[in-house]
Amino acid sequence: MPASRTRHLCSVAAALVLTVAGPATAASAASSDAPDLREVLFVGNNWDGTADVIKSSGDFAKVGRINVIPDKDQRMAEISANPIKWIYFMAIRNSVGEGHDQFADDMYSTPDGTSVVVSRPSFADVVSIDLATGRINWRFPVAGYRADHMAVSPDGTRVAVSASTANTVHVLDINSGKQLGSFATGDKPHENIFTKDGKYIWNMSIGDVNTALDDPAWDWTKGDRHITVVDATTYKQVKIIDMRQRLDAIGLKAFSDAVRPAVFSPDQSKLYFQVSFFNGFLEYDLAADKITRVKTLPKNPATSEDRTTWVNDSRHHGISMNPEGTKLCVAGTMDDYATVVDQATLQEGPLIPTSKPYWATVSGDGKDCIVSESGADQVTAIDFATGQKVTSIPVGDHPQRVRLGHVQAGWTGPAGS
């Protein structure tokens, strides 16, 4: 097996989440050996409705750009004609959108590199966009009024998307957009993860993150938050994991149980996850069914301690792991830094200044952590080995999710763009 493919498969095994190299599936990894495909990183610019495509490693130079809302006029006409949709559209803009529309939350390319599938929160849908023409192949309206995080199956054929106001996850055929199944979740489903064997989907519900009842004493008002594990073939519930019980068991009664970004270790024995309001992360042992370690990261003295000023209840939001499983990379969102943490000792490295880092993923070669700086409209690469910044690349307005994927060789953007 070529060394490049070995590295890529390791990256996929380490990722398994939206947070890391989820889109680099086994199928797409196999396709990456084909001469007509090129591995890239897709950067979703949530507020301007574009996706920048950059090299997956090396200098991370720009390759092209996609408009993910080519049907904006049509969608806006539909929303304006429906009072309920208009109310939700404006609520998304003024709450989770921080005064902006949310047009590009998550994205994955098809294994053949011909299309990219995008969840669009403000339009409450998922669309497939032809990378050659920029036109929409198919559109799937989600239940309720907002689409959120997605995950792709290891074989690259299915995407799972959270319908956050309907407490539902839809699973779609990535090529046709046809719904293959769905399942119920806790309040406000967020993160989705396919296990690397493709047998299970993990969904994390985060509850209501837009109220001002942020004091720990009011945590119970945030809703029903738990991890839902389902069979990825039947979409039937297999297990519910309530982190409230696990947190209480180790004396962390004041901690939120809203599991945010998360990443499995390469052998999937551990889950590393962030929770609302916490500057750090926790380690969960799957076999023992308990939280085994807690890592508190430094606070930025300039960050207000008023929780109501933190974006969507997130103090830290974004976590990834290198292919070897020896280093974690954490986005300290409200503390304006990112850092690499040693898995064995939990010792953090240098605090790399970043502006409201919102996500962390892994480069195609597995050497770097890629952080989206939503406050500076750029993505920044940090070396896993040294913990030092490598480079920053300007992108569009409010980059959030960053995903590994593929385009066809020679692609530089849709025709006419």
72-80 vs 83-94: helix crossing angle, rounded to 10: 120
The pTM (predicted TM-score) of the whole model is: 0.90
How many Å separate Cα 347 from the centre of its chain?
24
Bridge partners (DSSP) listed for residue 119: 106, 126
pLDDT tens by residue, 38-81: 999 999 999 999 999 999 999 999 999 999 999 999 999 999 99
Quote the tokens at residue 270.
Answer: 């551990």
Instruction: Calculate mean pLDDT across residues 173-198.
Output: 97
Residue-level pLDDT at 35? 52
- Delineate the domains of the chain, giving CATH numbers in brackets: 3-408 (2.130.10.10)
Q: Comparing 6 with 405, which gets the higher pLDDT?
A: 405
Instruction: Calculate mean pLDDT across residues 243-260.
Output: 96
Q: Is residue 136 predicted with pLDDT exceeding 60?
A: yes
Quote the tokens at residue 129.
Answer: 């966009």
pLDDT tens by residue, 376-403: 999 999 999 999 999 999 999 999 999 9
Instruction: Calculate mean pLDDT across residues 201-211.
Output: 95
Label the pairing between strands 179-184 and 327-332: unpaired
- Mean residue pLDDT of the chain comes to 92
Residue located via tokens 């979703």: 44
Sign of the torsion formed by the C-alpha atoms of 347, 16, 220 and 214: positive
pLDDT tens by residue, 326-382: 999 999 999 999 999 999 999 999 999 999 999 999 999 999 999 999 999 999 999
Collapsing DSSP to helix, strand or coil, 415 comes out as coil
